[in-house]
Amino acid sequence: MGTRKGLYGRSHRPADPGVSPNEYVGAITAEVRVHFPPNTDQELVTEAIDEALADALNQLTAHVEEVAAAERRKAERRTVVRAALDRQEPT
């Protein structure tokens, strides 16, 4: 079991096994930096990184909205089915 450092020292709660958001940001930043030579103006690199992160955030937001819409549709179908079953006469 892993631990994580909190404000008041080590916490004995398990460390998050998932990928942290910082790892995603680091991967995107590294991917953008590969396309620029080392002597490139830092403002251009920063602008490209910001655009890449904004694109990734937009894609993530769109995906979350799609999943939420699918969950709403599924819940609506369940409600309709339950209502139909409730209206049926017991046999």
Going from N- to C-terminal start, the domains of the chain cover 41-91
User: How much is the pLDDT for 1?
Assistant: 43
pTM equals 0.55
Contacting residues for 28 by C-beta, under 8 A, at least 6 apart: 49, 52, 53, 56
Q: Could you read off the pLDDT of 1-39 as tens digits, one per residue?
A: 455 555 555 555 554 556 676 777 788 788 887 888 888
Q: Which residues of 54-87 are buried (b: 16+ CB within 10 A; e: fewer)?
A: eeeeeeeeeeeeeeeeeeeeeeeeeeeeeeeeee
Percent of the chain predicted with pLDDT > 90: 25
Q: Could you read off the pLDDT of 38-90 as tens digits, one per residue?
A: 888 889 888 988 998 898 889 989 999 999 999 999 999 999 999 988 888 76
User: How much is the pLDDT for 26?
Assistant: 81
Separation of alpha carbons 44 and 18, rounded Å: 32
